[in-house]
Amino acid sequence: MAHYPGWEAFQALSLEEKSKRFMRDGALFDIVYAQQFSKEYLFQLFSTAETIRTIAKTKQGCDFIATLLSDKRAMLFFVQPSTRTFLSFLSACHLLGMRTSEIRDVTTSSEVKGESPEDTIRTFSSYVDLIITRHPDEGFVEMAAWVLNEHANRAIPVINGGSGKDQHPTQALLDIYTLHRALEKLGGIEGKTIMMSGDLRRGRTVRSLCRLLALYNNVTIELVAPEKYRMRRDVVEWLKQKNVKVSETEDFDSALKQADAIYATRLQNEYDKEGEASSISERFYLTENHLPYLKEHAVIMHPFPRRDEIAVTLDHDPRAHYWKQARNGMWIRAALILTLFQRQHCLDQFPKL
Ligand code: NCD
């Protein structure tokens, strides 16, 4: 993809080696893959997110938080549709006092004049201190982080807000944070069965979430999808290598009964090939008819947007966590951004905690 020297050599590296290039002073700098996170890092983020949301309950607290990154500017380069990821990142930046600029359509940037994506990214880095980006090309975010680290005078952090069908690491953060909060009183995520259903082949959220669940002991992942939309083998094989128990089935109703958490996802038909008209059977539609089979504490989740995966009539059930999940995105993204700038400890300076 990249035309700058060194790209091929970088591409030949293992993910572990590549990840090392995305660190600075022993800390995460660019967030490109979910595999970059350790369990310790997650727990620190959860704690930072809890502190931010507690302080933000008052005007005095919000005014304080808005000083933490008031010297920083962020660029949101989102060239694939987004509602929640875009808005929760934007809100997180604003909460922290950052100023933001955005491009949501490449037709408004110089790429239409033939500028290379590398030059476009380097241009952004001339004006801002953080780039958050979503792109349909799977390798775009990796390239952006690489080009800034290797070739730019101002290397600034890059955060992956969704890379094609491959990864969505910050969605995985808010998903795992939601699970952590919901299961806290039940002994946490360890030992639990997490069911994922829908278009697992092309959904990037489930691919990234699997990587984070593998950090917990004794987790079982139930992948529930029609044959055509099964999880791709790279993730399944990786999970097995990590000793995660994985089962795959098309039997939605039976899987539901076992699940401590149900993570429903939609059909990703924007990736359909020409002439393909994909669909998912009604069997994968969670409705009030299923409620009697669910565990009493089952955590129902969805990354959104929702279509026919979860009936709106379930929204008031105490097990429905998807609206909380969407809001958790703002808190955990604020915690992540603050941590990337290594200012999370500044929260201790708030007088009334
Ligand atoms: C997801 C995405 O973009 O991958 N949405 C989101 O960020 N919350 C899920 C989806 O589009 O299905």
pLDDT value at position 323?
A: 98
Q: Which of 18, 72, 122, 134 is catalytic?
A: 134
Q: Is 151 a catalytic residue?
A: no
pLDDT value at position 69?
A: 98
Q: How confident is the model at residue 106 (pLDDT cuts 50, 70, 90)?
A: confident
Q: Is the CB of 171 under 6 A from ligand 1?
A: yes
Q: Is 113 a catalytic residue?
A: yes
Cβ-defined contacts of 205-208 (< 8 Å, 24+): 205/168, 205/171, 205/172, 205/175, 205/265, 205/303, 206/231, 206/263, 206/265, 207/165, 207/166, 207/167, 207/168, 207/231, 207/232, 207/235, 208/33, 208/34, 208/167, 208/168, 208/169, 208/171, 208/172
Q: Is the CB of 204 under 6 A from ligand 1?
A: yes
Rg (C-alpha) for the chain, rounded Å, is 20
Atom 11 (ligand 1) nearest CA: 305
CA 148 to chain centre: 22
Atom of ligand 1 nearest to the CA of 265: 12
Q: What percent of the chain has pLDDT over 70?
A: 99
Model-level pTM?
A: 0.97
pLDDT value at position 105?
A: 86
pLDDT value at position 111?
A: 75
Atom of ligand 1 nearest to the CA of 304: 8
pLDDT value at position 1?
A: 55
Q: Which two tokens stand for residue 114?
A: 């033939």
Task: Please give the order of strands across the beta sheet that includes 99-103.
Answer: 99-103, 73-78, 130-135, 158-163
> How many CB atoms within 10 Å of residue 3?
10
